[in-house]
Amino acid sequence: MSIQTEELDALMYIVDRPEIVFVEGQGSWISDHTGKKYLDFIQGWAVNCLGHSPKVLVDAINEQAGRLFSPSPAFYNAPMLKLAKQLAEHSCFDRTFFANSGAEANEGALKLARKWGQKNRNGAYEIITMEHGFHGRTLAMMSASGKPQWEPLYEPKVPGFPKAPLNDLDAVVKLINDKTVGIMLEPIQGEAGVYVAEDGYMRELRALADEHNLLLIVDEVQTGMGRTGKLFGYEHSGVEPDIMTLGKGIGGGIPLAALMAKESACCFEPGDQGGTYNGNPIMTAVGSAVLETMTAPDFLEEVTATGNYMREKLGTLSQAHGFGEVRGRGMLQALNLKQEIAGDISAKAMEQGLLLNAPRPDTLRFMPALNTSREEVDQMIDILTGVINSLN
């Protein structure tokens, strides 16, 4: 296969992409149109939690595709019911609304919170979110996110999202007023560069929300579904949020997301929420296969063990090169390089057959498949070490 410029020009220009086309993948490996193979530590942006084209998901798709594509969201279908029940069994939440993307699930969460505010808090609608947080790219989610580069874009923004710095409880306290209805955050800020919301802080937020009758909302689009070594990121702190969103990993690479809530927060009435593909049977059948794989014995223990192994190796590499801290949990880790060389490293790594993400100019992020082997972690470290040495 060769690349035709006219084809590239038929896509809207939204980002600089390397002039290669990816054609197939298996496990931790992905190949481009020239046949070159890459060790993939991006995995579709922490999406392919079981690696590229895992058999269990290919089978789930094929089986459901041969049976029923889409009966309309106005009817029940079997995979939708099965996955909702499984999610309720494995989490502290009671009900699920399925969506197609993380941003859409988050929109649903904020609509649910605003509705809850109308019913229970005199029309309170403000949701306190975090500086540098990332919640997706719809207009409202760009407003809820705390990404400085987005501030001048698409004005005017949707109002109602005052911001606090992460891990600063007093800043949240100062923002609470009678218009406040909830607090929303990521258990680990992924796009910001992997900053963990401390367990103590999560517990303090829970207490604060209880004290003021506010909803605690966790955006687990990146941290949910085993990424941190627990099924959901909130489990590390032991708190039970009122609302949670899932995306990315829950579909293992196909578009599936979810909005989950405790019964006490479920206040949508008929007509309030919906969408054409919501609860689509092919997508939810895949979600079940993902969840069943992750909740099988030893799966999550292995994620934790491999995550710790990767963290240790990154720590050794960091010390050897005078870099900074390694941050994160499980299979979501970042390395602070203390210099703005992350873009350079990820470009050179790609030449050497390794896909790595640079969420900040001085930070590399590692988000491989959850079932990545230690040998593959070693291979990643070898290629990365070679790239770093070639910079000097």
Ligand X SMILES: *Cc1c(COP(=O)(O)O)cnc(C)c1O
Contact residues for ligand X, defined by CB under 6 A: 101-103, 106, 134-136, 186, 190-191, 219, 221-222, 247-248
Cβ nearer to ligand X, comparing 101 with 293: 101
Separation in Å, CA 314 to CA 342, 382, 392: 14, 11, 19
* Distance of alpha carbon 52 from alpha carbon 22, whole angstroms: 12
CB nearer ligand X, residue 136 or residue 330? 136
CB of 134 to ligand X, least distance (A): 5
Give me the least distance between CB of 43 and ligand X, in Å please. 13
Smallest distance from ligand X to CB 333, Å:
15
Q: Is the Cβ of residue 135 or residue 236 nearer to ligand X in the bound state?
A: 135
Q: Residue 190 has which token pair?
A: 């992924």
- Encode burial over 180-209: b for 16+ CB neighbours within 10 A, e otherwise: bbbbbbbbbbbbbbbbbbeeebbebbbebb
Q: What is the DSSP string of 61-110?
A: HHHHHTT-S---TTS--HHHHHHHHHHHHHSS--EEEEESSHHHHHHHHH
CA 39/CA 41 separation, integer angstroms: 7
Residue 72 Cα to chain centre, angstroms? 27
DSSP code, position 5: H
Output the six-digit token pair for 184: 């929303």
The nearest distance, CB 313 to ligand X, in angstroms, is 24
CA distance 127 to 24: 42
Closer CB to ligand X, residue 124 or residue 356?
356
Per DSSP, the three-state class of 56 is: helix
Nearer residue to ligand X within complex by CB, 126 or 219: 219
> In this structure, how many other beta carbons lie within 10 angstroms of the beta carbon of residue 379?
17
Q: Tokens at residue 158, please?
A: 């949707």
Nearer to ligand X, 132 or 348 (CB): 132
Nearest distance in Å: CB 160, ligand X: 18
CB of 197 to ligand X, least distance (A): 12
Closest distance of CB 109 from ligand X, Å = 10
Q: How far apart are CA 361 and CA 3, in angstroms?
A: 30
- What's the closest the beta carbon of residue 318 comes to ligand X, in angstroms? 24
- CB nearer to ligand X: give 190 or 307: 190
Minimum Å gap between C-beta 233 and ligand X is: 10
Q: Which residue is nearest to ligand X (CB)?
A: 102
Nearer to ligand X, 247 or 252 (CB): 247
Q: Which is nearer to ligand X, 140 or 326 (CB)?
A: 140
Place of tokens 């969420």: 359
Question: Could you give the 3-state DSSP secondary structure of residue 311?
Answer: helix
Rounded Cα gap, residues 144 and 177, in angstroms: 18
DSSP assignment, residue 252? Answer: B
